[in-house]
Every structure is written in structure tokens, then in C-alpha cells.
Amino acid sequence: MAKEKCTEISSLGEFALIDRLVKEFENVQPTTLCAEGDDASVSDIGNGKALLLSTDMLLEGVNFDLTYFPLKHLGYKTVTVGVSDILAMNALPERIMLALGVSSKFSVEALEAFYEGVRIACGELGVDLAGGDMAASITGLSVSVTAEGRASKEKITYRSGAKENDLICITGNLGAAYMGLRLLEREKQVLEGMDNPEPQFAGYEYLLEKYLKPRARKDVVESLAEANLVPTSMIDISDGLASDLMQICRSSHCGARIYLDRIPIARQTYALCEEMHFDPVVAALNGGEDHELLFTVPLGLRDRIAEVGGIDVIGHITSESKGAVMVTPDGSEITLKAQGFK
Amino acid sequence: MAKEKCTEISSLGEFALIDRLVKEFENVQPTTLCAEGDDASVSDIGNGKALLLSTDMLLEGVNFDLTYFPLKHLGYKTVTVGVSDILAMNALPERIMLALGVSSKFSVEALEAFYEGVRIACGELGVDLAGGDMAASITGLSVSVTAEGRASKEKITYRSGAKENDLICITGNLGAAYMGLRLLEREKQVLEGMDNPEPQFAGYEYLLEKYLKPRARKDVVESLAEANLVPTSMIDISDGLASDLMQICRSSHCGARIYLDRIPIARQTYALCEEMHFDPVVAALNGGEDHELLFTVPLGLRDRIAEVGGIDVIGHITSESKGAVMVTPDGSEITLKAQGFK
């Protein structure tokens, strides 16, 4: 018998892998509007409205390290991760569901701390917890979150709608969550084995909060609605600016030109990067887990975007042949690279 | 500092645990109709229709053993597990989403086999795959499935609607999936360490199929609709007849009286039980993973249920004070016990 072919997952990028896995699927439900390739799937619920659904998996040892990630924060962040995908479609989240795989090392009190964080995030966002599943695990904590939201069909913003000359907009700032993670990892190593570890976080509290307890940007989606602005494309920045901007380019068949000195980076991010001899622009481009929103609007809306506040214009959309590039202050161009599947 | 309180999860039942974790949550979304305590959550989508959502987590080493569970079958079964929760609300599934945690030991071809099984099940059920998530894992395969369906609000069947004297109905037969698992576990032990293992499955193919590739009973929900029958309560038999019937009793505040000699058990289940010196009634009551439907209908519908075909009436609903009991052929009564959280 011939040896079975065995291709390593890492030899394909994440997108190529998923494309290959789903290529033979055919959609048959007339209500399915968008099944693959965006932050959330979209289905028709009549009356001009659509339903958005997204699902995410968070695994202990990969997505979080419980030696420094408090369970209450993990519960909060789980909601942010789920809900951000709905917001990234310019829709408002209404419900989440949780499926947990829990090993016997967890106490009831530990689970209560997790759910307390979930409850706080749900309360802030006005989102209901709509059931879920609890399974035994032999390895650690597995968390799956499903988020559901609604929007008028004409307001839903896909990754595929960016047009040449559109402005590229960013909420908040980038790289802080990644530097929060770096700080936590550094203190874990330094203090390993100590009886009474006293980690040094003074001056970097904002970075820890951005990593451990990021807020979903529901406020931005609401502000855009109040200003009657509908972006042409949008994505949640979870993999880093470079990777997520390239997703927009890939889906919209366009290029992008962003300016290094316009990328919003927080003071604490600069400070810790200096201390750790790390390039803050790399943190912003490839760090990930910012859960800010990246979106595009037509060029003519520059003033109205400025009026909304809290949004930085970092560049513009170009033609597909120009690729995705970053312009440095001295005018040289760097081609952006996605981090891909880790 | 006082030592933190530490209650073991196993000291609470599954229901008591979930009740405790969600007791402080308040629902604020006007569209939320049913958030907890049923096979799926229910939300209003207008025009007299409702949306059903359910989520399940399947973990390697707990819910499946890849030494004998082919990935193609696992993909198929994942769809069945997800979709069965929607069917159990008397609704039709339209879409599923998958979130996978995959370690690097899996090849692209292995994932393709999994997705091939998903595609076959989706094709049979007319369900679309609507995106998902792919995460790296350090431990093994974690699968989360979210299923979505729709139904007219007045047709949705909750666990809570059973009334005294209602007939207790079962589709298919029970205990076969559990005996399929027992057979696979036996052959795994017998053949451990052998170079060319040749497991002995002859005569028990049906049991293997019920465990490895169970079909979701969409046909039953469609037949009930054609016959214009709406059950008073319904549940997917995933934890075993005893546990799932007690869920109906708990939600409907009623008791139940079922008759041992009416429980449908397949010939192969009897045969393997005899060979393994195992009580087939225990397999049916506590085995689980049957993914058949358990439902109740008013007493007057006995003839119409018989006309639908493939449905066994195994007893009737009683008052809450009488509890859930099984009557043996000699007329003695056995109080049913749920297996609870494993």
C-alpha cells in the first residue's frame, strides 16, 4: 500500500489551509448571505435585517497562560474576543454563548471568577449570555465563544468593500496588548520559583489592561451610526495591523499605503519598548490582540471622521498591483508581511 | 490571609454548577426569549419566527479517542451533535460553524478527512457551513460546533411543556451507540501493541455506526410537521434516557412512568450485551450519545403518533410528586437516577 500523503499544516498559510478545507462545500440555504471569509457569517432574517454569527476558540497554554491570567479577566476578555467580530461587521452584538472544557483542577470558585468576568463584560455591552455547554477536559481550560448580533443589511460592513483612495482608519492605539503580554512573560520568567513573587508592573498598568481586559469597541460602532457614517470595509485588529490590513486588501482586491508616523502608539507602549529594546512599530504591526477596529471610508469623509473623534487616519487604499506598503518618515517604502498561521 | 475556599466541581451536579455560575446574570435584550436550560437558546427574529442557537464542545481524550475514531466520522458526528440540539427544539437547522483547536501532529490530509465528514453530514441535512475559527493547540484536537436553526415561535418545543398523562415517545432505539463505544474500547485493549491489529467487529457494524456516525433525526422533525403534530416537550437523548427524561421532568415540574419492556433496543445491542455480560437496559438508560429524540404528546394523539411510524411510546407523564420511575415486567418500580456531570 502506498504511504499516505502527509502535508504539514505549517507549510500552508492559514488562509490557504481554510480555502483548501472548505473548497468543496456548497451552500444550499437561501438565507445564507455570507458564509466564509469575514469576521462573522451573515444570514437573512427578513425585514431588511441580517443576523451575524461568529465563533472563536481560546485554549490554555496557547491563547492564555493561567499562571498570570486571572480567570475573571479571562472571562471578560472572552466576551471581548467574541463580540469584536460582530462589531467589525458594523453590527451590534445581542447575545453570546459559551462552551467550556474544564479539567478537575478547577474549583467551582475558579469557574465563578471566570463567569464574574463574563457577567461584567456582558453588562457593559448590554449582551445576554444565552446558554452553552460545559464539558470535562483532561488537559486544561478550553473556551469557545459564539457571538450573535443584528444589523440592517445595508449597514453591514464586509472586508471586501474597500475602494481605491478610501481612507484607512484606526481606533485607539496599537501594540499595547502585545507589550502587556511581553511584560507578563518577562516577570513570569524573572520570578519563577520564588515563594513570594512581586512582579514589577508600575507605570505599565495600561498595557496590562489592554492585554488582560481589552474593551470591545461598541462605542465606535455606535458613534459611526450616530454620525450616519457607514464604512466601506472593516475588520477587528486581532492578528496585528499588517495581517488584518492585508485581509482587507485580499478581500477587496486592493492595495494599501500607510504611514509609519501616523500609526497610533500609546506612551506606555513606547516606554516599555525602549526598556526592552523592542521596536514599537513591530509591536503595532504584528503584535495582535488589540481588538481595535480597522476600517475604510471614502476620501470625502475625512472631516466627518475627524468630528467623530478617537479615530486616526493612517493612510489610504491603492490599486491591487501596488500591494500593501508602509511609508517611513524618510520616504522609503516597506512591503507589509502578514504573520500568518502561528 | 484566610485560605481561599475551594469547592470541587464534582461535588456539585452539572445543573447545580451551571445554576450557580449563571445565577447573577440578567438578560437585557428584548429579543432574548430563552437563554438557559434547554437544548438551544431562542431569540425573536420577528414575523412570528424565532432563531435557535446551540453550542457544543468535543475534546480529544474525553469525547473521542482518535486511536479508533476516524477523523471523517468525527467530522460527521460533530455536525450531528450540533444539529441535534436544534432538532430537539422542533426546529430545522440551517447553518453550523466550527471552531477547531489543532495541534501540529495533525496533517492537512487529516483535517481534510474531518472536513469531508462535515461536508457529507451538511449535505445530507441541507445545512451550510458558515465559517469558524482555527486555532493552534498544544494538547490535541478540540472541536466546538455552533448550530443555528429557525422555527415559527408557536412550534418551538421546550423541555418545560410536558403535562400529566402525556405520552412519552422515543425515536429509533437506545444503547447502541454506547455498546459501539464499549466494543471499540475492548478491541483497543485486546490489540494494544500488536503490529497488524485486526479488530473483530463482525455482526456489530450497526453499533459502530451508531457510535461513530450517528444520524441527526431531521426526518422525525419533518414527519411530525407533515402530520401537523407539535410535541408538548422534547429533548435530544445525548446523556442517556434516564438523565434526559429527568431533564424533561425537572423543566416541566412533572414525574414520569416508563415501562422497561417498551424501551426500544436493537438486536445487535442485545447480542453484544449478552457477549459482554452487560445489562442492555443499563446501556439504554445511561449509555448516552444515541442522538435520538425523546418527546411527549397529549394522550389523545396515540393513534396519530403510531401513523407517523418509527416512534415508540414507552410510558407517560405523571405528577411531580411521583418522581421518574421505570416499571419492570413483574410490576416492580425502579426510581430513575441521572448520571450527572462526568
Determine the pLDDT at residue A1: 41
Q: Which of B18, B45, B62 sits opposite A137 (nearest CB)?
A: B62
Contact indicator for A138, B37 with CB cutoff of 8 Å: no
| pLDDT tens, position by position, B74-128 | 999 999 999 999 999 999 999 999 999 999 889 999 999 999 999 999 999 999 9
- Chain A residue closest to B54 (CA)? A132
Determine the pLDDT at residue B339: 62
* A45 reaches B (C-beta below 8 A): yes
Q: Which of A46, A95, A135 sits opposite B57 (nearest CB)?
A: A135
- Chain A residue closest to B139 (CA)? A139
Q: Which residues neighbour B72 within 8 Å (Cβ) at sequence distance 6 or greater?
A: B113, B114, B116, B117, B120
Determine the pLDDT at residue B19: 87
**Nearest CA of chain A to the CA of B273: how many Å?**
27
Contact yes or no for A94 and B32 at CB 8 A: yes
* A332 reaches B (C-beta below 8 A): no
Decide if pLDDT at B150 tops 50: yes
* B46 reaches A (C-beta below 8 A): yes
Q: Determine the residue among B27, B118, B133 to mutate to test chain A binding: the one whose Cβ has the most chain A Cβ atoms within 10 Å.
A: B133
Q: Which of A126, A132, A139 sits opposite B55 (nearest CB)?
A: A132
Determine the pLDDT at residue B199: 85
Strands B254-259 and B311-319: antiparallel
Determine the pLDDT at residue A339: 62
Low-confidence ranges of chain A (pLDDT < 50): 1-2, 340-342
Task: Give residues 133 to 162 of B whose Cβ lies within 8 Å of A.
Answer: 133-140, 142, 144, 146, 148, 150
Q: Determine the residue among B44, B53, B106, B236 to mutate to test chain A binding: the one whose Cβ has the most chain A Cβ atoms within 10 Å.
A: B53
* B132 reaches A (C-beta below 8 A): yes
Contact yes or no for A97 and B54 at CB 8 A: yes
* B23 reaches A (C-beta below 8 A): no
The partner residues of B167 in beta bridges, in order of sequence, read: B297, B316
**Average of per-residue pLDDT across B299-312:** 96
Task: Give residues 82 to 121 of B whose Cβ lies within 8 Å of A.
Answer: 94-95, 97-102, 104, 106-109, 111-112, 115, 119
**Nearest CA of chain B to the CA of A303: how many Å?**
35
* B196 reaches A (C-beta below 8 A): no
Q: Which residues neighbour B75 within 8 Å (Cβ) at sequence distance 6 or greater?
A: B113, B114, B115, B116, B117, B118, B119, B120, B121
Q: Which of A35, A95, A109 sits opposite B131 (nearest CB)?
A: A35
| pLDDT tens, position by position, A42-74 | 999 999 999 999 999 999 999 999 999 999 999
Decide if pLDDT at B3 tops 70: no
Confidence of residue B341 (pLDDT cuts 50, 70, 90): very low
What's the length of chain B? Answer: 342
Contact indicator for B145, B238 with CB cutoff of 8 Å: no
Contact yes or no for B62 and A138 at CB 8 A: yes
**Nearest CA of chain A to the CA of B333: how many Å?**
32
Q: Which of A38, A128, A146 sits opposite B146 (nearest CB)?
A: A146
In this structure, what C-alpha cell is assigned to residue A223? 458613534
Q: What is the b/e burial string over A90-126, where b = at least 16 CB atoms within 10 angstroms of the residue's CB?
A: bbbbbbbbbbbbbbeebbbebbbbbbbbbbbbbeebe
Q: Determine the residue among B15, B17, B21, B27 to mutate to test chain A binding: the one whose Cβ has the most chain A Cβ atoms within 10 Å.
A: B21
Rg (CA), chain A: 21
The secondary structure of B289-322, three-state, reads CCCEEEEEECHHHHHHHHHHCCEEEEEEEEEHHH
Left if phi > 0, otherwise alpha if psi is -120 to 50, otherwise beta: which for A315?
Answer: left
Determine the pLDDT at residue B84: 97
Determine the pLDDT at residue B303: 96
Determine the pLDDT at residue B144: 96
Determine the pLDDT at residue A3: 53
* B63 reaches A (C-beta below 8 A): yes
Contacts of A22 in chain B (CB under 8 A): 115, 129
| pLDDT tens, position by position, A272-317 | 999 999 999 999 999 999 999 999 999 999 999 999 999 999 999 9
Decide if pLDDT at B1 tops 60: no
Contacts of A140 in chain B (CB under 8 A): 139
Determine the pLDDT at residue A341: 41
Torsions phi, psi for A115 (to 5 deg): -65, -30
Q: What is the DSSP letter of A340?
A: -
| pLDDT tens, position by position, B178-237 | 999 999 999 999 888 888 888 889 999 999 999 999 999 999 999 999 999 999 999 999
Strands B92-102 and B128-136: parallel
Q: What is the b/e burial string over A309-321, where b = at least 16 CB atoms within 10 angstroms of the residue's CB?
A: eebbbbbbbbeee
